[in-house]
Each structure stands twice: as structure tokens, then as C-alpha cells.
């Protein structure tokens, strides 16, 4: 059965993802470089890092035009081998949660994210992503059996030629002397991939729960500070939920299905579609949830550049306060 339509579906989604990523991340970078929000300190640079990783990931997805196919206990990642920046963006998310924890719970240790220490975080995340690529290159090698499967998939489903397509076969079994045996190298590689994902998810939940608990018991800080903490925490939760639902869970389901003789065929490309779209959604989460950013964008779209006077209540009394143009303060 031909599944050529998936070529068009994935191409369209990659174009949509790239356009949305350029617009969303570009807008967020402009706001981060301006005066739309105060009081975020080093976190500004973590957000900039996330924007850069997200943009590069969507750009590579558009350039590589990947496909996935689930066949005969093998997950075929088609097209040219690609640097897995999706793993790097996941690492950045976990670092975000660690940072929010120290902001709320141990602000005296924020030096861990400044100066040279910030570079160490970046190098660490890139090293983990590089280990992912190295494992895929070394442990998921093609052989005669996977090559035959690939040629069958390309000719039957996508009308593509083998010489125009590179691939990484995630295959759990091989046939030796008519006997089906486990591929230990592939199994080790899958364990590595799952371990990396689980470590990130564990860090997110551990520091996320501790931060939520601490924010709920903050004393001696202004309402503005508590509200800002809640906004950033909510944005991080939503940003984590998106790849968890649309990327980590589908990939885990595909992996388990390949191990237990299940098959999804060309429907594995749903994961590719999600890979194209989810990074583009991340900046819009921040732009919508963080009040300073949201007000700046709204005021710009409505051409509200002039200072406005608002009535606010302080300790039960009423007074006037001038709001700077384009929401240069949060409240």
C-alpha cells in the first residue's frame, strides 16, 4: 500500500513549523533583548538558549526532511542522519526547572548559572546530545536484513530510491541460521536513549514539585515576585507537557511496539509531524503566559505606544501610576 501522501504531509508541516518557529522565537528574542520584563536575571540567557536550540532544530528538520516507518520489528528513521537537537531542547527544559528551583528555594546559589558555570551547562547539554548521535551511529548499523527491509519500504510505500535516502534502523531482532535473536547492540542503544529521556523527565518532575511546593510557602517576598514565579513555573509546566505528550510518549510507544512485534507502518510519521510542530509552539507558550511579554505584544499590535495612567490599589488606598510604553514593567 502506497503512503506517498506522507511525503507531502511532513513537508507541509515542516514548512509550517519553520515559519512559526522563526516568528515566535524571533519575537521572543526581541522581547528578551529589550525592556519588556525585569527581574529575571540569568534566566534571560537560559530562555535565549532555548530559543536558539528550538530554531536550529526546526531548521534542521526542514532541511533533512525526515520520515519514520515501523516495519518488521524495526523503526526506520529515513532520510539523512540528523543531529538530534530535540534531545538538547529537552535538556534545556530540565535545566530551566533546576534554575527555577534555586530562584525560589536557594537564591544564594544562583551563581551556579553565571559566568563560566553557564558555559558548563551548555557544554553539558551539547555533550549529552552528541552522545545520542554517537550511539545512533555506532550501535544502529545497517546490515543485509535491514537493507532489504528498507528497499521494500521505499519501493512499496514511498516510491523513493535507496541511493537518495539515508537511514538509521532501530531493529531489535535479526535472523541467524533461521533463528530469531536479539540485537544486543541495538538494545544497548535503546536503553541509552530511554535513560537520557528518563533522566530529563525525572529532573523536571523532581525540581518542578519542589519549586511548586516552595512557591506556595514563600514568605517575605512581594506579591509581584510571587506572581512572576508562578507565571514562569506555569510556562515551564506547559512547555514540558507538550514534548512529553507529542514526542516522548509516541516514541516510547513505537519502541515498545517494535520490541513486542507490533507495527504502525507509515503512521509512525505522526511522530515526525509532531517533531516539526512542537518546537514552534514553545515560544508562544511563553508569550501567552508571561504577562509582561503578553502585554508588550498586545500593546504593539494595538499601537499603544504612549504612556498610560492606571489606577492601582496599595494597602487599601488608591493612587495613580504611569505605565511605561510597551509594558516595560510587569505590573
Please tell me the CATH code under which domain 5-289 is placed: 1.20.1070.10
Q: What is the pLDDT at residue 305?
A: 57
Residue 22 belongs to what H/E stretch? helix 5-33
- Mean pLDDT value of segment 250-278: 81
Q: What is the pLDDT at residue 222?
A: 66
Q: What's the whole-model pTM score? A: 0.70
Please choose, from the candidates 189, 195, 168, 187, the residue with its C-alpha nearest in 3D space to the C-alpha of residue 76. 168
Residue with cell 559566568: 115
Angle formed at CA 187 by CA 176 and CA 256, multiple of 5 degrees: 105
Judged on CB neighbours under 10 Å (0-12, 13-18, 19+), 291 is middle
pLDDT tens, residue by residue, 181-227: 888 888 898 888 888 878 877 877 777 777 677 666 655 566 676 77
- Mean pLDDT value of segment 79-93: 49
pLDDT tens, residue by residue, 2-30: 688 888 898 899 899 899 989 998 998 88
**Least reliable range by pLDDT among 78-92, 153-167, 294-308:** 78-92
Q: What is the pLDDT at residue 311?
A: 34
Q: What is the pLDDT at residue 163?
A: 77
Helix (H, G, I), strand (E, B) or coil at 127: helix
**Cβ atoms of 281 and 319 closer than 8 Å:** no
Averaged pLDDT score across all residues of the chain: 74
What are the phi and psi torsion angles at 305 (to 5°)?
-95, -15
What the block records as the C-alpha cell of 156 is 512499496
Q: What is the pLDDT at residue 135?
A: 86
Phi-psi region of 325 (alpha: psi -120 to 50; beta: other; left: phi over 0): beta
Q: What is the pLDDT at residue 161?
A: 81
Q: What is the pLDDT at residue 19?
A: 92
pLDDT tens, residue by residue, 284-328: 888 888 888 888 888 888 887 544 433 333 333 444 444 443 333
pLDDT tens, residue by residue, 90-148: 444 455 445 445 445 555 555 666 677 778 777 877 787 788 878 888 888 888 888 88
d(CA 193, CA 90): 12
Amino acid at each position: 500500500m502506497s503512503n506517498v501522501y506522507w511525503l507531502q504531509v511532513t513537508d507541509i508541516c515542516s514548512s509550517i513549523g519553520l515559519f512559526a518557529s522563526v516568528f515566535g522565537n524571533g519575537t521572543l528574542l526581541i522581547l528578551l533583548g529589550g525592556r519588556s520584563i525585569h527581574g529575571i536575571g540569568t534566566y534571560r540567557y537560559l530562555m535565549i538558549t532555548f530559543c536558539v536550540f528550538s530554531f536550529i532544530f526546526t531548521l534542521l528538520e526542514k532541511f533533512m526532511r525526515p520520515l519514520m516507518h515501523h516495519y518488521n520489528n524495526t523503526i526506520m528513521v529515513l532520510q539523512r542522519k540528523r543531529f538530534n537537537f530535540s534531545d538538547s531542547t529537552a535538556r534545556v527544559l530540565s535545566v530551566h526547572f533546576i534554575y527555577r528551583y534555586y530562584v525560589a528555594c536557594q537564591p544564594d546559589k544562583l551563581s551556579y548559572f553565571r559566568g563560566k558555570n553557564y558555559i558548563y551547562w551548555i557544554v553539558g547539554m551539547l555533550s549529552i546530545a552528541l552522545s545520542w548521535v554517537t550511539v545512533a551511529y555506532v550501535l544502529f548499523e545497517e546490515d543485509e536484513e535491514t537493507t532489504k527491509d528498507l528497499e521494500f519500504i521505499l519501493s512499496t510505500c514511498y516510491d523513493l530510491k535507496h541511493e537518495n535516502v539515508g537511514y538509521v534502523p532501530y531493529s531489535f531482532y535479526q535472523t541467524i541460521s533461521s533463528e530469531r535473536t536479539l540485537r544486543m547492540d541495538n538494545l544497548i542503544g535503546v536503553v541509552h536513549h530511554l535513560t537520557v529521556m528518563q533522566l530529563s523527565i525525572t529532573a523536571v518532575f523532581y525540581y518542578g514539585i519542589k519549586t511548586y511546593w516552595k512557591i506556595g510557602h514563600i514568605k517575605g517576598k512581594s506579591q509581584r515576585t510571587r506572581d512572576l514565579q508562578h507565571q514562569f513555573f506555569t510556562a515551564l509546566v506547559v512547555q514540558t507537557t507538550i514534548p512529553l505528550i507529542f514526542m516522548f510518549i509516541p516514541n516510547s510507544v513505537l519502541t515498545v511496539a517494535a520490541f513486542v512485534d507490533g507495527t504502525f507502518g507509515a503512521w509512525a510519521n505522526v511522530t515526525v509531524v509532531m517533531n516539526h510542530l512542537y518546537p514552534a509552539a514553545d515560544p508562544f507558550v511563553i508569550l501567552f503566559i508571561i504577562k509582561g511579554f503578553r502585554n508588550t505584544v498586545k500593546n504593539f499590535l494595538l499601537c499603544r505606544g504612549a504612556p498610560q495612567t492606571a489606577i492601582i490599589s496599595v494597602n487599601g488606598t488608591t493612587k495613580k501610576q504611569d505605565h511605561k510604553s510597551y509594558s516595560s514593567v510587569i505590573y
